[in-house]
Structure 1
């Protein structure tokens, strides 16, 4: 008999990437699981990448909260409520543990599972679950999500995380370029320009061109300034998430600030280096099947030398794994 499961995890990009191994676990351990996923509309592409996700239900909370009582917003909320009211699930699993996810959860039908007060980021959320689970807070996000899903659905997971991203990586050839994510929404996450230039120089020494990602117009301007006059670098135009994922999947290496796209690169199996300055990698380290390095700590950015060393290690790893790469050879 089909077991209908609804996942509530609406944002953000990196957190959704961290969810994917739990989806793989559910598909592997729960016979005839039908997995639907409620997600913020701007990230709705991500669940579609995983073959085990049956249906994606978009929610526009970020857009709605700007005009919560506008007639258009009220109509959209009513449509979502009617949609959820028509569905019945065996299990509704809140993987976020926030009051904004509880707002969605309360409109669903099914046994509601979530984190207990000691485990949830917002303890008040735990009062709205029928079944509460304890998951150690201070451990990697991928592990937390896998543990919560296993506890809610009654299995023991094992093995390395499987992000289920073959729909992105299949048929993509690794090319001689590095993807760079030098921008962030907060200035306290930024890394010094001089350090970036050292990294760019090292990547060029390894024969790689640069493709820089950015989000807002301000981030695009910053990225352009970083590579001004560099003929081997380009700032990519804004693209949809699937198109960006394809670019990441074809890169020989990715170096970026702690961002959702950096975590996506790791999940796609590309050697990835994350630079942490305003956050801690204890709870959100980079995880993936290839080389990853989560460097720095809140208030203590990694030095250029530390990142350069990781770049060399990552590229040695990748050349060893792709010894037939044009111009490459396995390290001695």
Structure 2
């Protein structure tokens, strides 16, 4: 059976899809799986052993192209994807754009979420067969259940396995190495620099080697600030590639991060990981697995989770840490690392 998977972004969503691929590989070991994914994440998708071929798509670049260039690029991409004769297409994203891409493949059977389950119910109009999957579950479980429904197998007694650790089998685990992921895309998800410094100092006192991972100039400035306060800590002088960052996360004996793709990657790589949550909720998109913990303020503030990029409890334009994150103390994180 030849299967085409549509799940184009984001980085965290890519990681959330891996357990469903592991299920499929176990149930249908002879299936050939191709995966359509945004070109920026094509290398990540190839990490899973169930994937035969990754098919990059450049939607973000297409949006910026002129109409003539856009038409040419879409036509060329359509011709390339239709070279394969797929038995089944699964749209695991549930958006109008992903359902349109799925139809381009020309398969006789196109499966997706039904109108109670899809993020954009209009997408269901383009599917040949739809499946109800409760939206009250974690994103990982939703994708696993969609795959099981589309391919007719049961998830009973099926362990949750991300399946990508073997790709990094050449990386040895370091003893007492702590990696900190200090950045994220929303300011409301950020942790106070003083908390990072305190956590680093405590970890160093407990015998950890501490390394800070950064991905933007602002994050590099924070990493430098942490290292200035705790000179034994380290960070790379240049921004790491996703592959290089993954190798750091595999090597780590423990990871602390925020609600960001690299924290999800650490969890998918089966490293001991603690993720800090405030404005967003870990219930549906938090880290998952026995080796992970999601830490949020307890008791929760009445505004949590707000899912907002700006904090209503702070003045407009304020760079202060939101109360929901300020209340997460470094001591709590250290305690969780000992579990």
Q: Same fold (TM over 0.5)?
A: yes
SS in 2 for 1:55: strand
How high is the TM-score relative to the length of structure 1? 0.88
Partners of 1:212 and 1:233 within 8 A in 2? yes
Q: Tell me how far apart the structure 1 counterparts of residues 189 and 328 of structure 2 sit (CA, whole Å).
A: 15
Shift of 1:90: 0.9
SS in 2 for 1:89: coil
Over 4 Å off, 4+ runs: none
Alignment-derived partner of residue 133 in structure 1: 131
Alignment-derived partner of residue 311 in structure 2: none
Shift of 1:312: 2.9
Matches within 5 A, 1:165-314: 165-175=164-174, 176-236=176-236, 237-296=238-297, 297-299=304-306, 300-301=324-325, 303-305=327-329, 308-314=331-337
Q: Tell me how far apart the structure 1 counterparts of residues 124 and 202 of structure 2 sit (CA, whole Å).
A: 48
SS in 2 for 1:36: strand
2:28 paired residue among 25, 30, 54:
30
Q: Tell me how far apart the structure 2 counterparts of residues 262 and 164 of structure 1 sit (CA, whole Å).
A: 17
Corresponding residue pairs, total: 312
Q: Tell me how far apart the structure 2 counterparts of residues 254 and 170 of structure 1 sit (CA, whole Å).
A: 18
Q: Tell me how far apart the structure 2 counterparts of residues 154 and 23 of structure 1 sit (CA, whole Å).
A: 14
Shift of 1:36: 0.6
Shift of 1:232: 1.8
Deviations, residues 160-200 of structure 1 (Å, cap 9, x unaligned): 31111133341322223211111122211111122222211
Deviations, residues 236-264 of structure 1 (Å, cap 9, x unaligned): 22222222111100001111110011011
Determine if the alignment matches structure 1 residue 88 to structure 2 residue 85: yes
Which sits farther off after the overlay, 224-233 or 52-61?
224-233
Shift of 1:205: 2.0
Partners of 2:197 and 2:229 within 8 A in 1? no
Deviations, residues 85-144 of structure 1 (Å, cap 9, x unaligned): 222111100000012212311211211100011101111111111000000101111111
Alignment-derived partner of residue 161 in structure 1: 160
CA-based RMSD of the aligned residues comes to 1.9
SS in 1 for 2:228: coil
Shift of 1:82: 0.7
Q: Tell me how far apart the structure 2 counterparts of residues 225 and 48 of structure 1 sit (CA, whole Å).
A: 36
Q: Tell me how far apart the structure 1 counterparts of residues 168 and 295 of structure 2 sit (CA, whole Å).
A: 23
Shift of 1:294: 4.0
Q: Tell me how far apart the structure 1 counterparts of residues 135 and 86 of structure 2 sit (CA, whole Å).
A: 27
* Unaligned stretches of 5+ residues in structure 1: 318-332
Q: Tell me how far apart the structure 1 counterparts of residues 240 and 332 of structure 2 sit (CA, whole Å).
A: 31
Partners of 1:4 and 1:89 within 8 A in 2? yes
